[in-house]
């Protein structure tokens, strides 16, 4: 007889990060290899961002690089709740979280200690089922530690009592133990680039000063912007009680630094809180030693041979089943309408918290594995666009998942709300296989989309984007490089990989399904 287990499955694999285990592992490794290692001892807590890896993965790697070769008895991840409201701190009441790299077991014994130590902490699945900000931390930890136990914590209402409730409970319950606390947060949202940098600098200063009181006060008064201000304050309280007395900013970037789009950006911060046992004075300084990644790589995974093997494997993965004539799936009007209805039902049911009314899909074409993007607009303005470039799920299922992600988890926009549902317009792009090209003349503007990869940077633009903006081939290449966070002429460089693909694009406005 098998014991029933409650597993929280991945909800953002294929959107926030790759859902192919091999590609995900290689991407995480690339991020870590490109982050500086600092010899910091006695790390008690980290601050990490939680957006899609293409935007914030490199920043997160700066935090995670510092704990390579370290060991912890347990890891506690504290996150905010983006989509559910509840007035307490929720510790997952199940057995494990799951990602493409496998399952991560919940540390039930230590979780129980926390729920017993504060009336503000409960076992619950509230804030866990549709929340991405814990999940996106796990692949980094799985890559570094392999198997480990953790405590997933979501703060519902970010009130003083909840912040102090969980922060003090961790510090008291695990004092003397070797635990790591991770605060999951992004910084300011959707300000112009320069304004965002100024706002985010305020947070940096408060963290670096280890000023818990002022940071908490400024956050609660909305004078600083962090979606996870509560988790950060709680992690600082916990870390201080566990012996931390210093903080160090490891990296700051915002989405504009990655995408090149600077009109409305999101800020990302990596920081470490640690116990400095060296007393400053005389010639003694804090024991932090910078190491260049090319000189010292604690992961031991940065050889040129392995890098070449990784590149070849990713190329092969992207090119599988590609032919000289790259054509996307041929869908009839009925199949297009079904996909649009699935997308809308997925968005509606997720936002309203009801069971989706999606019938069994028996159509052979819709059950073929295929990549797709879902784009959401309101009054002609983009409000979300997320897709999966890999053909790993049936087309209808890919559309269902990507519609939900585009509505709630595109890091460039606020989530779609119940009052928006009737005003949204949905467009679906069904992708062909990708083809790596060496001759730029193969790019047909208006027919082909572009996917560009250079090192750990990658970006994609759909075929219709070039048409919408009347770009020629050169401008299309430049804009795709910008999307990848690269210099706009990186497409000219030998190590820049350029892929083309086609897409079948259709929208509600075009088909007007009733």
pLDDT 10s digits, 171-180: 999 999 999 9
User: Residue 107 corresponds to which tokens in the numbers above?
Assistant: 């540390």
pLDDT in tens, 210-229: 999 999 999 999 999 999 99
pLDDT in tens, 320-367: 443 445 666 789 999 999 999 999 999 999 899 888 888 889 989 999
**Whether pLDDT at 391 is above 90:** no
pLDDT at 512: 72
Query: 451 in the Ramachandran plot: left (φ > 0), alpha (ψ -120 to 50) or beta?
Result: beta
**Whether pLDDT at 92 is above 50:** yes
The fold of the 318-511 domain, in CATH, is Dna Ligase; domain 1 (3.30.1490)
Q: Looking at the DSSP assignment, which residues form a beta bridge with residue 105? A: 96, 149
Lowest mean pLDDT among 120-134, 460-474, 480-494: 480-494
Q: What is the mean pLDDT of residues 311-324?
A: 41
Distances (CA, A) of 449 to 58, 80, 314: 25, 36, 19
**β pairing state of 497-507 and 424-431:** antiparallel
CA distance 169 to 183: 15
pLDDT at 223: 93
Lowest mean pLDDT among 111-115, 194-198, 283-287, 344-348: 283-287
SS3 content of the chain, % helix, strand, coil (to 5): 35, 25, 40
Cβ atoms of 511 and 340 within 8 Å: the answer is yes
Assign 206 a pLDDT band (cuts: 50, 70, 90).
very high
CA-based angle 465:390:503, to the nearest 5?
A: 35
pLDDT at 278: 55
In the block, tokens 């090319």 appear at 294
In the block, tokens 């890919």 appear at 398
pLDDT at 330: 83
**Whether pLDDT at 420 is above 70:** yes
pLDDT at 293: 33
Cβ atoms of 466 and 414 within 8 Å: the answer is no
pLDDT at 166: 98
pLDDT at 310: 37
pLDDT at 325: 52
Q: What is the dihedral of CA 234, 236, 242, 243, to 10 degrees?
A: -160
C-beta pairs of 140-144 under 8 Å, 24+ apart in sequence: 140/28, 140/31, 140/32, 140/48, 140/60, 140/61, 140/64, 141/64, 141/75, 141/104, 142/99, 142/101, 142/102, 142/104, 143/25, 143/28, 143/29, 143/32, 143/101, 144/32, 144/64, 144/67, 144/68, 144/299
Distances (CA, A) of 394 to 370, 372, 496: 6, 10, 31
From first CA to last CA, the distance across the chain in angstroms is 48
DSSP 326: -
User: Residue 310 corresponds to which tokens in the numbers above?
Assistant: 């990784």
pLDDT at 111: 97
CA distance 74 to 56: 25
Q: What is the mean pLDDT of residues 102-128?
A: 96
**Whether pLDDT at 196 is above 60:** yes
217: exposed, middle or buried (C-beta count within 10 Å: 0-12, 13-18, 19+)? middle
CA distance 398 to 365: 13
**Whether pLDDT at 305 is above 60:** no
Assign 470 a pLDDT band (cuts: 50, 70, 90).
very high
pLDDT at 3: 63
Whole-prediction pTM value?
A: 0.60
Domain with CATH 3.30.1490.150 in the chain: 318-511
Domain with CATH 3.40.830.10 in the chain: 27-274+285-291
Q: Looking at the DSSP assignment, which residues form a beta bridge with residue 140? A: none
Look over the chain and give the mean of its residue pLDDT values, rounded to a whole number.
87
> Higher-confidence residue: 146 or 359?
146
**Whether pLDDT at 251 is above 70:** yes
> Higher-confidence residue: 236 or 296?
236
Collect all residues with Cβ–Cβ distance below 8 Å to 303 and sequence separation of at least 6.
none
CA distance 20 to 386: 17
pLDDT at 492: 92
Q: What is the mean pLDDT of residues 283-312?
A: 38
User: Residue 491 corresponds to which tokens in the numbers above?
Assistant: 């497409």
**φ, ψ of residue 177 in degrees (nearest 5):** -95, 160
- Positive or negative CA dihedral for 506, 508, 511, 513? positive
pLDDT at 457: 76
- In terms of Cα–Cα distance, which of 164, 161, 135 is closest to 150? 135
Q: What is the mean pLDDT of residues 250-279?
A: 88
> Higher-confidence residue: 118 or 390?
118
Cβ atoms of 282 and 60 within 8 Å: the answer is no
Provide the angle, in degrees to the nearest 10, between the axes of the packed helices 212-220 and 160-173: 150
CA distance 369 to 79: 33
pLDDT at 327: 65
- Positive or negative CA dihedral for 301, 304, 305, 308? positive
The CATH number of 27-274+285-291 is 3.40.830.10
**Whether pLDDT at 439 is above 90:** yes
């Amino acid at each position: 007889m098998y014991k029933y287990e409650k597993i929280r499955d991945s909800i953002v694999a294929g959107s926030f990060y790759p859902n192919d285990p091999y590609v995900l592992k290689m991407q995480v490794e690339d991020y870590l290899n490109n982050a500086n290692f600092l010899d910091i001892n006695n790390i008690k807590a980290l601050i990490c961002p939680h957006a899609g890896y293409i935007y914030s993965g490199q920043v997160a790697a700066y935090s995670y690089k510092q704990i390579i070769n370290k060991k912890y008895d347990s890891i506690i991840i504290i996150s905010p709740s983006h989509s559910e409201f509840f007035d307490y701190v929720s510790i997952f009441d199940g057995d494990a979280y799951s990602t493409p790299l496998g399952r991560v077991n919940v540390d039930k014994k230590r979780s129980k200690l926390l729920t017993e130590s504060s009336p503000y902490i409960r076992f619950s699945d509230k804030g866990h089922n549709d929340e991405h900000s814990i999940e996106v931390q796990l692949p980094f930890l799985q890559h570094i530690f392999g198997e480990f136990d953790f405590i997933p914590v979501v703060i519902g209402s970010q009130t003083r009592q909840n912040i102090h409730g969980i922060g003090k409970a961790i510090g008291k319950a695990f004092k003397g133990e070797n635990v790591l606390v991770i605060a999951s947060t992004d910084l300011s949202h959707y300000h112009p680039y320069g304004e965002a940098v100024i706002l985010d600098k305020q947070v940096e200063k408060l963290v670096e000063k280890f000023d818990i009181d002022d940071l908490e006060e400024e956050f609660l008064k909305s004078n600083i912007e962090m979606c996870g201000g509560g988790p950060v304050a709680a992690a600082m309280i916990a870390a201080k009680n566990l012996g931390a007395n210093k903080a160090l900013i490891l990296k700051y970037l915002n989405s504009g630094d990655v995408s090149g789009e600077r009109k409305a950006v999101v800020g990302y911060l990596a920081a470490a809180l640690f116990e400095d046992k060296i007393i400053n004075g005389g010639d003694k300084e804090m024991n932090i030693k910078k190491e260049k990644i090319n000189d010292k790589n604690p992961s031991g995974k940065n050889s040129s041979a392995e890098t070449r093997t990784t590149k070849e494997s990713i190329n092969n993965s992207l090119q599988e089943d590609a032919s000289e004539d790259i054509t996307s799936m041929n869908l009839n009007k009925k199949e297009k309408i079904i996909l649009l209805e699935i997308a809308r039902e997925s968005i509606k049911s997720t936002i309203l918290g009801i069971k989706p009314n999606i019938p069994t899909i028996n159509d052979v074409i819709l059950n073929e594995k295929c990549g797709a993007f879902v784009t959401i607009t309101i009054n002609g303005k983009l409000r979300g666009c997320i897709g999966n470039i890999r053909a790993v799920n049936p087309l209808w299922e890919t559309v269902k998942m990507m519609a939900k992600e585009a509505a709630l988890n595109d890091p460039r926009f606020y989530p779609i709300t119940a009052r928006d549902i009737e005003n949204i317009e949905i467009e679906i792009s069904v992708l062909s296989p990708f083809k790596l090209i060496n001759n730029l003349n193969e790019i047909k503007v208006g027919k082909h989309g572009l996917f560009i990869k250079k090192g750990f940077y990658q970006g994609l633009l759909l075929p219709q984007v070039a048409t919408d903006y009347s770009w020629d081939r050169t401008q299309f290449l430049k804009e795709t490089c910008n999307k990848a966070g690269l210099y706009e002429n990186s497409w000219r460089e030998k190590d820049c990989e350029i892929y083309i693909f086609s897409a079948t694009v259709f929208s509600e406005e075009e088909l007007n399904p009733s």
